[in-house]
Chain A
Amino acid sequence: MNVTAARLGLLGMLLSALLLTGIGTGSSFLGPDRVIAALWGTGERMDMVIVWTLRLPRVALAALAGAALALSGALLQRATRNPLAAPSVLGITDGAAVGVLLFLTISSDAANHLTVPVAWQPAFAGLGATGFALLVLLLGGRHRADPLRLLLYGVALAALAKALVVLLLIVGPVYRASQALIWLAGSVQAAQGRDVVLLGSVLGLSLPVLILLARPLDQLRLDPDSAFATGLPVAAVRGAALALAVALAAGAVSVAGGIGFVGLLAPHAARLLFGSRAAPQLIGAALLGAAMTTGADLLVRLAFQPLEVPVGAVTAALGAPFFLWLLNRRGDPHA
């Protein structure tokens, strides 16, 4: 336990360093001391403006989106007992994108102005994500013994969602298709304080549920029969975990687009580092996910500035080979 705590602490420090570097890096570089001073509100006025209005929203959004997606993936993998499950693999990300575009299409007037508050956007993302998640789970649920089939249903429904997205892009008011495409690919470049607050509150609201779920999730790792024998309401726990996973993914997608493979990669890395117990694995996954997206965003800004390469492209480039390895390694896929 002490080892785990020490590792979590180290990871937290690493994440803080990444966040400080991320906030400090840009067209004018700020050292960590100046960043911290500005965050405390004691820095120079220019530094404060740069940090609070330009850099912090983007970095914070990247970190929060990574944490939300990682938690979503960890919950999905536990609830479906499928090590390859993740929001992007199961079509949940694309379902959320359909919801967002549907919202933009039906709630815009002729001049492309929204007629309802933008705060409704995540609700529609959640609706789309829930719809597609339910479809995938209903179709794939019949084949419990066959984890790969569930994923293929996800792939098929993701293809359907992508087609709907393309159609909505054309008929809808998102006339700047290239911008929408960047958002769909997962991007935090246009982050605003509003987005950070929104995703932060989704994460904050999910925290108590996560704490309540930690013990039952540990019991769920046993096979369903023994879990049931211990008096665990298996279906309820699984349903709550799935609902939470869908909500977290929808929140992340509605503000940061489809950043892929973080939800797959981070839970596995967390399992390797912190073991299979729910509490440390979930905390570790959230920290790792945040570190991954923050790092990917930093990489994008350092390597491609002034071009805006979507973060999702970087996470896909890193995550896809890992998924291939996971899929094709010899031995038990249920590890």
Chain B
Amino acid sequence: MRHVLPLSFLVVALAVLSLHLGLRPTGPATVWQALWGEGQDAAELIVRGLRVPRMALALGVGAALGVAGLLTQAALRNPVAEPGLIGVNAGAGFAVVLALSVWQVGNLGLLTLCAAFGALTATALLFGIAGGGRSSAGPLRLLLSGVTVAALLSAGTQVAIILDEKAMEDLLFWLSGGFADRPIAALDPALPVMIGAAGIAWFHASVLDVLAADDETAQALGLPVVTARIAILGLAALLAGTAVAVAGPVAFIGLGAPHLARAMRVTGHARLLPLAALWGAALALTADILARYLIWPGEAPLSAVTALAGVPLLLALLHRRAPA
């Protein structure tokens, strides 16, 4: 609790800030009126129609990605793992593009289901190829395999996009990843899944603790290591997949949030998990605010912002960790 409260304040402050800032900054009075009033003033419409949805999406998706990153890193015992890097996002993206262009799925709930299924399939594929069940599969090897699976799936996505020229614009926009101009209704089917998956993971936090140690300890404690690892990765894939369905593929939030949470010197995944969720939300909100200013007056793609911040972190992690 010691860390959760101040971190929550940070997230709330960032959320409030994100309502005020943009191409046309608005004062607190206007924001207040926009939130509780019925005014049709342009500034109020911007706040109510554009900034509130962005904020809500950033909160939900950021938290989900933060938890997904924490679960992935614990299950793979790999501090450099992240749903975006190991191809889970690409799997969800490919599934959604297929669903939109080939099967013409219009239902948001069904689309979320497709994304989650795609993410799960990509995880299973990676597991099968790189033998993630064996702990002997080196963490770097697994990561590289994931990157390659992502490249393969992106090639599929490219072909699917080009085959369907009508939907190309929409698909490219969705694939660029971000919180601006996206239907907030997409959160309705996604939120229950996210909360459910995060909740299950939280109730089994002790499993995460044991899994993050080493295989011998885990086995000695009577934990079915492979089953547990698959289950945790499945939960991570559900979280990442639904996040992709809502906001498109957003990388590096799942890498940064768990590290920030661990940097608070907290032990035990029961405490780490809420912190990772809060940090994820904070990072997503920060990135979303930065995206409005990076190439002013244009709007930068969120994935570019997260990559610019995330790559140095990835390089630092690679630099520091002992060889595979």
Given contacts A185-B158, A320-B148, contact A145 B323 (CB under 8 A): yes
Contact residue range for chain A? 35 or more
Flag B293-324 by CB within 8 Å of A: 1 or 0 each.
01100101101110110110011001100011
Q: Say if the beta carbon of A155 comes within 8 Å of chain B.
A: yes
Q: Which of A287-314 contact B (CB under 8 A)?
A: 304, 307-310, 312-314
Q: Say if the beta carbon of A156 comes within 8 Å of chain B.
A: yes
For B140, what are the chain A residues with a Cβ–Cβ distance below 8 Å?
146, 148-149, 152
Contact at B149–A324, with CB atoms within 8 Å? yes
Given contacts A185-B158, A320-B151, contact A163 B324 (CB under 8 A): no
Nearest CB on A from B318, distance (A)? 6
Contact at B300–A167, with CB atoms within 8 Å? yes
Q: Say if the beta carbon of B230 comes within 8 Å of chain A.
A: no
For B156, what are the chain A residues with a Cβ–Cβ distance below 8 Å?
313, 317
Q: Say if the beta carbon of A143 comes within 8 Å of chain B.
A: yes
Of the listed stretches A25-33, A170-178, A190-198, chain B binds: A170-178
Contact at B307–A146, with CB atoms within 8 Å? no
Nearest CB on B from A319, distance (A)? 9
For B149, what are the chain A residues with a Cβ–Cβ distance below 8 Å?
320, 324
The residue that B163 contacts in the complex, of A84, A170, A307, A328, with Cβ under 8 A, is: A307
Of A139, A159, A307, A328, chain B has the most CB atoms within 10 Å of the CB of: A159
CB-nearest residue of chain A to B85: A155
Given contacts A149-B324, A166-B304, contact A316 B163 (CB under 8 A): no
Given contacts A167-B295, A320-B155, contact A304 B163 (CB under 8 A): yes
For A310, what are the chain B residues with a Cβ–Cβ distance below 8 Å?
158, 162
For B17, what are the chain A residues with a Cβ–Cβ distance below 8 Å?
none
Given contacts A177-B172, A327-B144, 20 further A-B contacts (CB under 8 A): A84-B144, A139-B319, A146-B323, A152-B144, A155-B85, A160-B308, A163-B304, A163-B305, A166-B301, A167-B300, A260-B151, A304-B163, A307-B163, A309-B162, A310-B162, A312-B158, A313-B159, A320-B149, A323-B148, A324-B145
List 21 interface pairs A-B (beta carbons < 8 Å), by A numbering: A145-B323, A148-B140, A148-B141, A149-B323, A152-B80, A152-B140, A153-B318, A156-B318, A163-B304, A164-B308, A167-B300, A170-B298, A171-B298, A178-B168, A260-B151, A313-B158, A313-B159, A320-B152, A324-B129, A327-B148, A328-B141
